Chains A and B, each alone.
Chain A
Amino acid sequence: MTIEIVLFTLFASICAVSAVLMITRPNPVISALFLVLNFCSLAGLYLTLNAQFIAVAQVIVYAGAIMVFFLFVIMLLNPEKEKRFFEQKAKLRIFIIAIVALVLVQIVYIIFLSRPSEVITREVARSLETGTVENIGREMFTNYVLPFEAAGYLLLSATIGALVLAKKKFE
């Protein structure tokens, strides 16, 4: 019972700290590596929620494929250093802080106003069964087969689009 709380605290703190570090590092390569750490700790959180299949897909697809792609592009373009946040215009800075504070307060207020934990309690056995590969595969190839095919076409068209965009030199 307590190991659940220990694991949640560990993964959640890694997740939050690496997210903050990711947006504050000036070097984009280090940002990308912190994002990989963030995705891996998110996969750990998915495991504490008994979503095994999504946790594995998170590590393979996000932390593996997509982030390697990002690192390739960063190293290909070798972008210059950028100005830090605190060196930017004061007006812009106040505007950004106001928007961010508004969004965070709004979301947290809604969460604590609606009090979902009084209505929703987790049944461990049921949630264990929900996240298994068998269950997800059965559901995906019966009820969700049309979105699955559509995702395949989407990825095909994205591949062709990326090839066309990156190959041709526009005037």
Chain B
Amino acid sequence: MQIPIEYYLVLSAFMFTVGIVGVLTRRNAIVVFMSIELMLNSANLTLITYSSYLGDVGGQLFVFFVMAVAAAEAAVGLAIIIAIYRNKLTVNIDEINILKW
């Protein structure tokens, strides 16, 4: 028998929720960043699932572009984190509040 599409979708929803928990609870900027990567990957899983079940290649190409954007985002984001660490000697997001009014 075939695996119903809901199994993949629920797994993806669970991973997305875990990513949200990570973003909201963790205080280390790098781990927050990794949680965002987790959420990106759960969206990728949904795209691949529909692409495979519908037999349409568009979803897989979209995942390829998401990977390219994620690589660019990781490079710039981690460079920003390094720049902040040079100035404030911390990556704790409770102490990085210069944009908070």
Residues of chain A touching chain B, judged by Cβ–Cβ distance below 8 Å, are 1, 4-5, 8, 12, 15-16, 19-20, 22-23, 28, 31-32, 35, 38-39, 42, 45-46, 48-51, 53-54, 57-58, 61-62, 65-66, 69-70, 73-74, 76-77, 79-80, 82-83, 85, 88, 96, 99-100, 103-104, 107-108, 111-112, 115-117, 120-123, 126-127, 129-131, 135-136, 139-140, 144, 147, 151, 154-155, 157-159, 161-163, 165-166, 169-170
Contact = CB atoms under 8 A, between A and B. Distances in A.
B83 A165 contact: yes
B60 A38 contact: no
A77 B30 contact: yes
Chain B interface, >50% SS class: helix
A45 B70 CA distance: 20
Chain A interface, >50% SS class: helix
Contact of A117 (B6, B14, B50): B6
A140 B64 contact: yes
B72 interface: yes
Contacts of A88: 25
A135 B25 contact: no
B7 to A, nearest CB: 7
Interface residues of B, number: 74
B83 to A, nearest CB: 5
A22 B22 contact: yes
B97 interface: no
Given A139-B57, A158-B71, A158-B76, 15 more contacts: A19-B38, A38-B38, A49-B8, A54-B48, A70-B34, A99-B24, A100-B17, A121-B2, A122-B2, A122-B53, A130-B55, A130-B60, A131-B60, A151-B69, A158-B73
B75 A69 contact: yes
Interface in B1-39: 1-11, 13-22, 24-28, 30-31, 33-35, 37-38
A107 B12 CA distance: 10
B10 A70 contact: no
Contacts of B55: 123, 126-127, 129-130
B49 to A, nearest CB: 6
Nearest 4 CB-CB pairings of A with B: A158-B72, A23-B22, A126-B55, A165-B79
